[in-house]
Amino acid sequence: MPTASLLLYVGGRLAQAVPILFIIILINFALIHAAPGDPVDFLIGATEATPEYIESLRREFGLDQPLWVQLATYLSKIVQFDLGYSLRFREPVLSLILSRMPATLLLMGTALLFSSAVGILLGVIAARRPYSAGDYAATFVSLAGYSMPVFWLGQIMLIVFALHMAWFPTQGMYSLRAPSQGFGRILDVAHHLVLPAITYSFYHLALIYRLTRVKMQEVMALDFITTARAKGVAEGRVVYRHALRNAILPVVTVIGLNFGFMLAGSVLTETVFAWPGMGRLLYEAIGARDYPVLMGLFVVLSVMVICANVLTDVTYALIDPRVVYR
Amino acid sequence: MAITHTLAEPTWWRIFSRNRASVAGAVVLVALFALAIFAPVFLRFEPGRINVGPSMAPPGLIHLMGTDELGRDVFSRATAGLSVSLMVGFGAATISTFLGIVVGGLAGFFGRRTDALLMRLTEVFQVIPRFFLAVLLVAFFGASILNILVTIAVLSWPEIARLVRGEFLSLRSRQFVDAARVAGASRMSLIFVEILPNALGPVVVNATLMVGQAMLLEAGLSYLGLGDPTKASLGQMLQEAQQIMRSAWWTTAFPGLLIFLCVLSLNLVGDGLTDILNPRSRER
């Protein structure tokens, strides 16, 4: 596919995302004014503030002006990447959130790679022998996977493998006594990563497994598979080259479109294991009723979801030659 | 697939009962409901009462699921929490199904601009990360059980709306609807008498699954500290257990198990209902 048309396509998709982003900012603005209480309290959070600070906030956000002027002020701040200031953390909201982002991405990335690889593999194996005992067992386990609260699974994993077996640390991302750089540091972080990543993978593993299995069964019944077999292509090649390539497209879409749910799962997992990412930040902000951080997280997480959606469409376009760009 | 000798379509119960996992799910679900409803009759301890036993006693004959750090009976609290969780799950799913039918029905029946507008709205709702919007709404408006229920309901309708719209679009031009229209049926009667009853099947399946989703969503909110402290749900119990689970595993294991059983049985029942609607999914 020519690069120019791809760029145009990506640009178009991004442009479509602008109104959604506007709505998200509008939701924040509406909440500040619609929720019971003085709007200025929501700009501060439930922290003691000096009268001077409150006064300066009122002026900064133009709280004595008509509503539409306030909205314009609010919008122009966010467009300039000013998501407010957290009195509790004594830091601008955006830099606070960005400092927590790498930990979340590490957890999500690891878990997503693991669950996609294992889920697709198991799905293919199950689809080759449908309705066998193994297929039933795997189907039931996957059903269990998305029927349980992810944080409860985390709590149980923590009790069993970190407390009773003592195989893994109970919380955090690194230990204080471990080396602070180099290979030792990587090993230490990896050791802390195992339990949260497995917990978090379980739900997605279940989802990806189930989807791959269904799609593989559909594709394996199609004529071109029969043709491939008839002309003597080896069975392994038929399954992994011919069928899987076609079955994997919807799987990619579902992974991308579930990004919002994935972020939610990450937040809950991080809370269990005190993993220092955006989820942990959300938990702390809820506990302190730090409204600027909550609103900032909503904006940043929404932007991430929108980007994931665009990325999914582009990936889909790249793997599926049938998609035509306009 | 079994060869049937009668030409008549098997009754829905016979189809449902062929899926043994779904039957098991239905049985467990009924048992959980019975537990939530009738527990107050036979409970030995008042659910919220402190010091009815020693602090953090392990499960035993007197305290079936042990006690927590305040000496509250976990079993009694869990049955009360179960009824709160079920109420939120079914309440939210009912309201959002209703909203979804209204939006989807209007879009599918009237088509054109109404359809375009409502579907655009639905898309926006689907892109916005739902869980985090729920967090914001509950944090701003206060963590009461009613707020949580309404929040979940207001955020969950898009799937149903899309489903109903699809059904309406395909049904509204069928012959029997045209016949009713020619016979002079009003719009209302076309929607409610002719089309809606035929679109309800998939809606019921989706609503069943949505109850489970709503229960998980409520549990997640409660776990993050947005539960209603005056009406402890199962999720709220898991949140409280976070501090003491290291020395008292039963405070987290049992409430979580109850949520798991509820959602699992709802999903299994949903599978069975799909079998009734969709002949292809019956083949096994």
Task: Show residues of chain A in contact with B129, CB under 8 Å.
Answer: 260, 263-264, 298, 301-302, 305
> Using one digit for the tens of pLDDT, what is the confidence trace for B241-272?
888 888 888 888 889 999 999 999 999 898 88
Residue B280: predicted pLDDT = 59
Residue B218: predicted pLDDT = 92
Residue of B nearest to A39 (CA): B140
Residue B222: predicted pLDDT = 92
pTM, two decimal places: 0.87
Residue of A nearest to B281 (CA): A214
Q: Is A295 in Cβ contact with B136 (below 8 Å)? A: yes
CA–CA distance from B1 to each of A136, B4, B34, B166, B281 (Å)? 17, 9, 35, 30, 11
> Which tokens sit at A87?
């009195």
pLDDT of B1 higher than 60: no
Residue B87: predicted pLDDT = 93
Per the rule left: phi > 0, alpha: psi between -120 and 50, beta: everything else, A148 is: beta
Residue B284: predicted pLDDT = 47
Asked if A142 and B268 touch (Cβ cutoff 8 Å), the reply is no
Residue B259: predicted pLDDT = 94
**Which whole number is the average pLDDT over A209-233?**
82
Task: Show residues of chain B in contact with A214, CB under 8 Å.
Answer: none
Q: Is B225 in Cβ contact with A287 (below 8 Å)? A: yes
Interface of B with A (CB under 8 A): 21, 124, 127-133, 135-137, 139-142, 212, 216, 219-220, 223-226, 235, 238, 241-242, 245-246, 249, 252-253, 256, 259-260, 263-264, 267-268, 284
Instruction: Work out the number of other CB atoms within 10 angstroms of the CB of residue B18.
Output: 15
d(C-alpha B147, C-alpha B251), whole Å: 26
Residue of A nearest to B260 (CA): A148
Lowest mean pLDDT among A45-49, A135-139, B187-191: A45-49
pLDDT of A221 higher than 90: no
Q: Is B129 in Cβ contact with A301 (below 8 Å)? A: yes
To 10 degrees, what angle do helices B196-221 and B158-171 make? 170
Half-sphere exposure at residue A18, Cβ-oriented, CA atoms within 13 angstroms: 7
Task: Show residues of chain B in contact with A261, CB under 8 Å.
Answer: 131
Please give the residue that has the higher pLDDT: either A298 or A90. Answer: A298
Q: Is B260 in Cβ contact with A144 (below 8 Å)? A: yes
End-to-end CA distance of chain B: 6
> Using one digit for the tens of pLDDT, what is the confidence trace for B132-168?
999 999 988 888 899 999 999 999 899 899 889 888 8
Q: Is A271 in Cβ contact with B223 (below 8 Å)? A: yes
Q: Is B253 in Cβ contact with A149 (below 8 Å)? A: no
Nearest Cβ partner of A151 from B133, B223, B268? B223
Taking Cα atoms as reference points, which of A304, A222, A316, A235 lies closest to residue A263? A304
> Using one digit for the tens of pLDDT, what is the confidence trace for B158-211?
989 988 988 888 888 888 888 888 888 888 888 888 888 888 888 888 899 999
Task: Show residues of chain A in contact with B256, CB under 8 Å.
Answer: 148-149, 152, 155-156
Burial annotation B26-39 (CB, 10 A radius, 16+ → b, else e): bebbeebeebbeeb
CA–CA distance from A174 to each of A103, A170, B10 (Å)? 11, 11, 60
Please give the residue that has the higher pLDDT: either B31 or A86. Answer: B31
Residue of A nearest to B224 (CA): A283
> Using one digit for the tens of pLDDT, what is the confidence trace for A240-279?
777 787 777 777 777 777 788 888 888 899 988 888 899 8
Å from A183 to nearest chain B CA? 31
CA–CA distance from B17 to each of A256, B93, B95, B273, B275 (Å)? 36, 25, 29, 10, 10
Q: Between A and B, how many CB-CB pairs are < 8 A?
A: 131
* E-assigned strand segments in chain A: 85-86, 91-92
> Which tokens sit at A195?
């339990």
Highest mean pLDDT among A205-209, B21-25, B48-52, B89-93: B89-93
